[in-house]
Structure 1
Amino acid sequence: MDRFNFNSPGLVNLLVSQSSQTIDLGCSEVPKPASKRKWTTKEDVVLISAWLNTSKDPIVSNEQKAGTFWRRIEEYVNASPLLIGSIPREWSQCKQRWGRVNEQVCKFFGSHEAALKEQASGQNENDVMKAAHDIFFNDYLVKFSMEHCWRELRFDQKWRSHSFSKDGAKEKRKEPAEEVPVDQDVRPPGVKASKAAKRKKHTNEAAFDQIESILAAKNTISKQKILDRLLAKTEATLSPQEVSLKNKLISEML
């Protein structure tokens, strides 16, 4: 009986190595699945800017469908001059990443608020941030790695109202309940305790007043940008809604 010659060029060698990534049998090669690409800090910042600008657009924000909304964000991200040379992102990737960013930043927002309430006299912003990170880790057992996202969103009123009222993503820290006996007399706070409470309240009010001032300034800048865009158009190209918005903004700016 003739033996097969496995070295013959006319036969297909099926004894391929298991380490091969593709098998070429005259058909097109099957590529190895690409690994998941991490988001960079620069991409996160551009994504946040895209979400804020797209959701703030007064002309289309309430009229755009979810698919259209995220495709607009995809175009914004991929057209950003900050990401020249980067691999384009798909709208589904943007949506998934934003969900992660929004969730984590909302949680850290609660941790930072708790750290502000616990801020002692003499502590600065760095001390508060360290305490906020510690609170976040104690509550969720992971380190907060999106501080750059939190700094982009912390003062934005649009994000705050959307995330904390509509999405309900803000989570309050759980504190152990204190049991107070029914017959126990509650003594009024002493003079020192009252003064300390007043000083703490005054400090927090000053901080919140500063935040409100920053938010008001950003709101004014945003309105001015919208007005500039509308003024750049001719009257013939403006829709009735745009004309109404332009007149409203002009009256507010006067």
Structure 2
Amino acid sequence: MLQKWSPKEDIILIGAWLNTSKDPIVSNEQKGGAFWKRIVEYYNASPLLVGTIPRELGPCKQRWSRINDHVSKFCGCYDRALRQQRSGQNDDHVMKAALDSFFTIMNLKFTMDHCWKELRYDQKWCSLVQGKDTVKEKRKVVDIDGEEAAVGEPEARPPGVKAAKAALKKKMNGREQELSNLHGALEIKEKLSRQKLLDRLFA
């Protein structure tokens, strides 16, 4: 008998996938089998799952595939609904339109809103969904009535080392210019004071 997945288990699986894929030490040097073995180990080690039956690699991989597919399609539906939002419509209207679009495409209700909330702005997940093989152009998530929709806005990416150094240098250059201007003004003031003193002595 198949063991049904609960929302809590979905969140833990998503966390396991994200943490394993973002590992700065192993990074992209992970083969598929080893990658998923680590995800399953991470998942089963969660203290939130104490007392539950451990999951095996196959079911974890299948569940992630389903989550990934459904959430990426829903992101496209939601993005399209946002772009079509009319004046006076609130977030509830956008969500309803997105859910309706998803149902039209998949012929089933979207029941993974808990997964969507976890993934929709995650930079790593969004970059993979948008396509590994696209350099100039983002891969669109879903096609609805001939119109393509992309994944929502990802997390803001922190500046790189070079960009940070350049910004700091620019800031320092600005301060040096201010100091230079200040020194110039002080020199002029000092000259004027000396001139006034000389004038008084001659007088």
TM-score norm. by structure 2 comes to 0.69
Cα separation, 1, equivalents of 2:90 and 2:20: 35
User: In structure 2, what is the equivalent of residue 237 of structure 1?
Assistant: none
What is the aligned counterpart of 2:132 among 166, 189, 192?
166
Cα separation, 1, equivalents of 2:103 and 2:143: 14
Identity across the alignment (%)? 56
Contact kept, 8 Å, 1:46 with 1:77, in 2: the verdict is yes
- CA-based RMSD of the aligned residues comes to 2.5
Contact kept, 8 Å, 1:103 with 1:169, in 2: the verdict is no
User: In structure 2, what is the equivalent of residue 133 of structure 1?
Assistant: 99
Cα separation, 1, equivalents of 2:106 and 2:34: 34
Contact kept, 8 Å, 1:114 with 1:132, in 2: the verdict is yes
User: In structure 2, what is the equivalent of residue 40 of structure 1?
Assistant: 6
Contact kept, 8 Å, 2:77 with 2:142, in 1: the verdict is no
TM-score norm. by structure 1 comes to 0.56
Q: Which amino acid aligns with 1:103?
A: D
User: In structure 2, what is the equivalent of residue 50 of structure 1?
Assistant: 16
Q: Which runs of 4+ in 1 moved over 6 A?
A: none
- Which string of whole-angstrom CA distances, capped at 9 and with x for unpartnered residues, describes residues 59-111 of structure 1? 21211111110010011111111111111011221111101100000110111
Counting only pairs closer than 5 Å after superposition, residues 147-166 of structure 1 correspond to structure 2 as: 147-166=113-132
Unaligned ranges ≥5, structure 1: 1-34, 177-207, 221-247
User: Is residue 175 from structure 1 mapped to residue 146 from structure 2 by the alignment?
Assistant: yes
Cα separation, 2, equivalents of 1:124 and 1:71: 43
- Which string of whole-angstrom CA distances, capped at 9 and with x for unpartnered residues, describes residues 137-194 of structure 1? 1222211111111111001111011112138682221239xxxxxxxxxxxxxxxxxx
SS of the residue 2:5 aligns to: coil
User: Is residue 143 from structure 1 mapped to residue 114 from structure 2 by the alignment?
Assistant: no
Counting only pairs closer than 5 Å after superposition, residues 45-84 of structure 1 correspond to structure 2 as: 45-84=11-50
Q: Which amino acid aligns with 2:141?
A: K
